[in-house]
Amino acid sequence: MTPGGRVRYAFAIDHRKCIGCHACTVACKTEHGVPLGNFRTWVKYVERGEFPSVRRYFTVLRCNHCAHAPCVTICPTSALFTRRDGVVDFNKDRCIGCKSCMQACPYDALYIDPDTNTAAKCNFCAHRLEVGLEPACVIVCPEQAIIAGDLDNASSQIARLVHREPAEVRKPEQGTGPNVYYIGADAASLSPTAIARGETYLWAQARAADGGGGLGAASAPAATPGQAEARGPLGQVTYDVPHPAPWGWKVSTYLWTKSIAAGSLLAAPFAGPPDTFHTKLFPWLSSLAAPLLALVFLMLTAGLLTFDLRKPERFHYILLRPNWTSWLVRGTWILMAFGGASIVWFFAGRADDHSLLHALILPCMVLAAATAGYSAILFGQCEGRDFWQTSLVFWQLLISAVAAGAASLLLIGLLSSSSLDEVRWAGETLSIALLAKLALILFEYLGPHGNQEAVRAARLLTHGQFKTYFWIGVVLGGLLLPKFLLSLWATRLGVAVAAGLALAGLWLYEDLWVRAGQTVPLS
């Protein structure tokens, strides 16, 4: 401890000594009762070179106890927190099992404990620190390759080692301030995408990376063309532990149902005559169908969010024990405010109060835009997924909402006694939104990306395992074909098919986007 009382615990792992014996993994599992198939500490094997000059490298991986931990920021109930000594700890009694911390962590350090259905990770053996003992992995290492201590104490072994030797951290570009230092580690083994991964390991097949089921289940990512050519000199991963994708079809569908809910009120002013903004003329499609549709799909959204939790009975913790830095919390309140506005809109329509409806247009559209777009900031807090870190996500969500709302109102109008002329404005709104969506998709996926991880995820959509779903299902079937059918505006059936295809294409796009972002390995 420094004279001022400040403590900053850290690990240093000396890979010049590590023999890959897995003693640290076994000690950690024993100390914490880690269930079979889950790991707080694990060892990755990488083999590099060409016969006969081949070498195996070992990399010990775990929570990095970041100074600016993104898992703490995104956790909606403060179940994850940073202690005064720098240890990032967790309280399983507050965890709701939302899995957002797993997406926020750039190091794959968290998992869901199947016994408690709550998040878990390395907590630096905090219970041992508090009684003056070292972490279990430090004690058991036969080569003393793992060193733990106070990095702010200049006289400590770890401080002397880190300042004396060239030490590296994983993914410094993330700005998380990791407190696990690697000495003598193979640089490529610290980068999860630098070395190709095959479908088999030393003694087993690689487990699928996708955990949610649904379309396009992701397996271990294949090497990119550049990696495949360099497989010999660069090497390959020959042993690792599984890290299933935390989010599946429920999250994809939540984005879709939320877009219909928000889009219903975003598109409502355009679903009637062009002078809706300037007069008090509100057809039933705008005054009654739109808010009712918003409320129904808002309830579906809340249901999907709740049942995707591993501890759904704790959903109310988001309201009663909120962490206001998390956009899961802020988004919940936005959804509630939007639901209230939809109720007011509906009853104003029932009362035939066109004056109130006219006054509600602006505030309701602002809340609807916030409902559609807040997920962009939430996914932005998922710092482990570089594919989701783009300013275009908000505009993608907003345009998807307008398209989904217009398509839904169009279908309702056609299923009722409305004529084609009465729903033409909804059709034209949908047509414009589809063109805007197509332009954004082409700009985002055919243009430059922020880093290689984002490039790799984008290529999975355009040239990889998801390409058929993307080009045929989304671009052709969900955007171009509906646009063509709407341009004909010939029959009720043709227009209804166009609206249905648009809605299906929007869901498929959300599903592929969520899955592609989780396919690139983090460790």
What is the tens place of the pLDDT at every residue in 231-246?
A: 444 688 888 988 999 9
Determine the Cα–Cα distance for residues 502 and 18; give it in Å rounded to an integer: 55
Q: Report whether pLDDT(417) > 60.
A: yes
Q: Report whether pLDDT(215) > 70.
A: no
Determine the Cα–Cα distance for residues 415 and 496; give it in Å rounded to an integer: 9
Question: Where does the pLDDT of residue 187 fall: very low under 50, low under 70, confident under 90, or very high at 90 and above?
Answer: confident
DSSP string, 351-370: TT-HHHHHHHHHHHHHHHHH
pLDDT tens for each residue of 99-123: 999 999 999 999 999 999 999 999 9
Determine the Cα–Cα distance for residues 170 and 178; give it in Å rounded to an integer: 7
What is residue 233's predicted lDDT score, i.e. its pLDDT?
46
Determine the Cα–Cα distance for residues 283 and 269; give it in Å rounded to an integer: 10
What is residue 41's predicted lDDT score, i.e. its pLDDT?
96
Cα separation values, 169 from 65, 124, 177, Å: 12, 17, 9
What CATH topology corresponds to 9-191?
Answer: Alpha-Beta Plaits (3.30.70)
Q: What is the mean pLDDT of residues 282-286?
A: 78
* Secondary structure letter of residue 386 according to DSSP: G
Q: What is the mean pLDDT of residues 244-273?
A: 90
Least confident span in 57-71, 84-98, 348-362, 488-502: 348-362
Strands lying side by side in the sheet with 196-197? 53-62, 41-50, 236-239, 196-197
Residue 428 class from Cβ within 10 Å (0-12 exposed, 13-18 middle, 19+ buried)? middle
Least confident span in 17-26, 414-423, 465-474: 414-423
Residue 385's Cα: distance from chain center in Å? 6
The matching CATH number, chosen from 3.30.70.1560, 3.40.50.300, 3.90.79.10, 1.20.1630.10, for 249-519 is 1.20.1630.10
Q: Report whether pLDDT(230) > 60.
A: no
Sign of CA dihedral 306, 308, 313, 319: negative
Sign of CA dihedral 71, 441, 373, 265: negative
Question: Where does the pLDDT of residue 229 fall: very low under 50, low under 70, confident under 90, or very high at 90 and above?
Answer: very low
**Rg of the chain, C-alpha, whole Å:** 26
Q: What is the mean pLDDT of residues 486-497?
A: 93
Q: What is the mean pLDDT of residues 476-487?
A: 96
Intrachain domains 9-191 and 249-519 with the same fold: no
Question: Where does the pLDDT of residue 155 fall: very low under 50, low under 70, confident under 90, or very high at 90 and above?
Answer: very high
What is residue 282's predicted lDDT score, i.e. its pLDDT?
62
For the record, the structure tokens of 519 come out as: 């396919």
Q: What is the mean pLDDT of residues 323-334?
A: 97
Sign of CA dihedral 476, 479, 482, 488: negative
Neighbouring C-beta atoms of residue 420, cutoff 10 Å: 15
b/e map 461-478, b = 16+ CB within 10 Å = bbebbbeebbeebbbebb
Of 48, 46, 119, whose CA–CA distance to 81 is shortest?
119
Q: Counting every residue, how long is the chain?
A: 523
467-472 CB contacts, 8 Å cutoff, 24+ apart: 469/215, 469/216, 469/508, 469/512, 470/512
Q: Report whether pLDDT(264) > 90.
A: yes
Least confident span in 194-198, 354-358, 407-411: 194-198
Question: Where does the pLDDT of residue 506 fall: very low under 50, low under 70, confident under 90, or very high at 90 and above?
Answer: very high
Beta strands in 216-363 (DSSP E): 236-239
Residue 289 class from Cβ within 10 Å (0-12 exposed, 13-18 middle, 19+ buried)? buried
Determine the Cα–Cα distance for residues 488 and 307; give it in Å rounded to an integer: 41
Determine the Cα–Cα distance for residues 374 and 305; give it in Å rounded to an integer: 14
Find the Cα–Cα–Cα–Cα dihedral 200, 202, 208, 211, rounded to 10°.
Answer: 180
Q: Report whether pLDDT(4) > 80.
A: no
The mean of the pLDDT values for the chain is 89
The fraction of the chain above a pLDDT of 70, given in percent, is 90
Q: Report whether pLDDT(218) > 60.
A: no
Q: Report whether pLDDT(3) > 60.
A: no
Q: Report whether pLDDT(278) > 60.
A: no
Of 446, 268, 282, 285, whose CA–CA distance to 365 is shortest?
268
Side-chain-side CA neighbours of 429 within 13 Å: the count stands at: 28
What is residue 224's predicted lDDT score, i.e. its pLDDT?
42
For the record, the structure tokens of 106 come out as: 């750039």
Q: Which residue has the tokens 């307008």?
A: 402
Q: Report whether pLDDT(447) > 90.
A: no
Q: Report whether pLDDT(12) > 90.
A: yes
Residue 277's contacts (CB-CB under 8 Å, 6 or more residues apart) are: 269, 361
Neighbouring C-beta atoms of residue 353, cutoff 10 Å: 16
DSSP string, 19-33: ----HHHHHHHHHHT
Determine the Cα–Cα distance for residues 11 and 179; give it in Å rounded to an integer: 6
Using omega within 30 degrees of 0 as the cis cutoff, is the peptide bond preceding 52 cis?
yes
Side-chain-side CA neighbours of 484 within 13 Å: the count stands at: 8
For the record, the structure tokens of 240 come out as: 């690792």
Predicted structure pTM score: 0.91
Residue 227's contacts (CB-CB under 8 Å, 6 or more residues apart) are: 195, 196, 234
Q: Domain spans of the chain?
A: 9-191, 249-519
CB 58 within 8 A of CB 145: no
Question: Where does the pLDDT of residue 208 fall: very low under 50, low under 70, confident under 90, or very high at 90 and above?
Answer: low
What is residue 198's predicted lDDT score, i.e. its pLDDT?
72
Determine the Cα–Cα distance for residues 31 and 33; give it in Å rounded to an integer: 6
What is residue 353's predicted lDDT score, i.e. its pLDDT?
87
Question: Where does the pLDDT of residue 5 fall: very low under 50, low under 70, confident under 90, or very high at 90 and above?
Answer: low
What is residue 287's predicted lDDT score, i.e. its pLDDT?
85
Determine the Cα–Cα distance for residues 236 and 1; give it in Å rounded to an integer: 42
Determine the Cα–Cα distance for residues 242 and 522; give it in Å rounded to an integer: 11
For the record, the structure tokens of 216 come out as: 């396009």
CB 387 within 8 A of CB 193: no
Of 257, 289, 280, whose CA–CA distance to 423 is shortest?
289
pLDDT tens for each residue of 382-399: 999 999 999 899 999 999
